Amino acid sequence: MPKARAIISTIVIIFIFISSPNLMGQNTTNTTIKGKVIDSSLNKGLEASTVTIYKTKDSTLVNYTLSDIYGNFTLDNIPHNQELYIIINAIGYHPLYRQLKFTDSNKINKVTLYKFKMQPSTKALNDVIVKSVPPITMNNDTIEFHADAFKMDPNAVVEDLLRRLPGVIVWGMVQLP
C-alpha cells in the first residue's frame, strides 16, 4: 500500500509539473507597456515617434514601435527582472531617456501606462546682420555706382561691370598697342 501511494503521489506531482508552466519555469512573465508620446507645450499626441527599449547591461534591443497618429503606442514581451531603458525620438524634439524595471511582483501581461512629454528642440541661431549696399547713390551732383552691389564673375573686367550699370552705354573700347 505505501508503494502504491508513492507511485500515485509521484504521478500527481509529474502531472502538476506538466500541466503548470509556471512551476516548470516556462512562464516568461512578460509585461505589455502602453503609453502616449505628447508635446510638452501643446499637450498633443506626436505621430510617428520611435519608441525603443534596450537592455541596460549590454544595450541589446528588446522591442521597438512607432506611435500612431494620436501618439499612442504598445510594446509587448517586455522581460522582468532586467534593467531596461526606453528611448523615444520624434522629429523636432529632444530624445527622451527613461530607466525601466519590472519585477516578478507584477503579474503576467500586466499593462503599464506611461505618458511621455517631449520637449521641443529649439536651436537659437546667431544674429544675422544684413549689409546691403545700394547699387546707386546720389552724392550732391555726383552719381555713385557701388561695384560691390553687382554680382560679377571672379574673372570679370571693368567693361563687364560698366555694361551692367543702368544708363551707361559702352560703344567700344580702345585697345592700346
DSSP 17: H
Q: Are residues 114 and 44 in the same domain?
A: yes
Number of compact structural domains in the chain: 2
Residue 145 has which C-alpha cell? 555706382
DSSP line for 84-97: EEEEEE-TTB--EE
Q: Are residues 78 and 134 in the same domain?
A: no
**pTM given for the model:** 0.54
Q: How far apart are CA 8 and CA 3, in angstroms?
A: 9
Query: What is the residue range of 161's domain?
Result: 130-166
Q: Are residues 42 and 109 in the same domain?
A: yes
The terminus-to-terminus CA distance of the chain in angstroms comes to 135
Q: Are residues 75 and 49 in the same domain?
A: yes
Per residue of the chain (177 residues), give pLDDT as tens: 566 565 665 564 555 555 544 444 444 567 888 899 999 888 899 998 998 888 888 888 888 889 999 999 998 888 878 888 898 998 889 999 988 877 766 555 566 677 889 999 877 777 777 766 667 777 778 878 777 777 788 888 888 888 877 777 878 766 766
Q: Is residue 37 part of a domain?
A: yes
Instruction: Decide if 71 contacts 36 (C-beta within 8 A).
Output: yes
- Nearest alpha carbon to residue 79 among 34, 109, 35: 109
Helices (H), 20-146: none
Classify residue 31 by burial, with Cβ atoms within 10 Å: 0-12, 13-18, 19+: buried
Q: Is residue 9 part of a domain?
A: no
Q: Are residues 67 and 103 in the same domain?
A: yes
Residue 72 has which C-alpha cell? 499612442
Q: Are residues 74 and 101 in the same domain?
A: yes
Q: Is residue 2 part of a domain?
A: no
Q: Are residues 49 and 111 in the same domain?
A: yes
Classify residue 30 by burial, with Cβ atoms within 10 Å: 0-12, 13-18, 19+: middle
Q: Are residues 49 and 110 in the same domain?
A: yes
Q: How many helices (H) and strands (E) does the chain have?
A: 2, 9
Residue 48 has which C-alpha cell? 510617428
Q: Are residues 95 and 157 in the same domain?
A: no
Q: Are residues 91 and 41 in the same domain?
A: yes
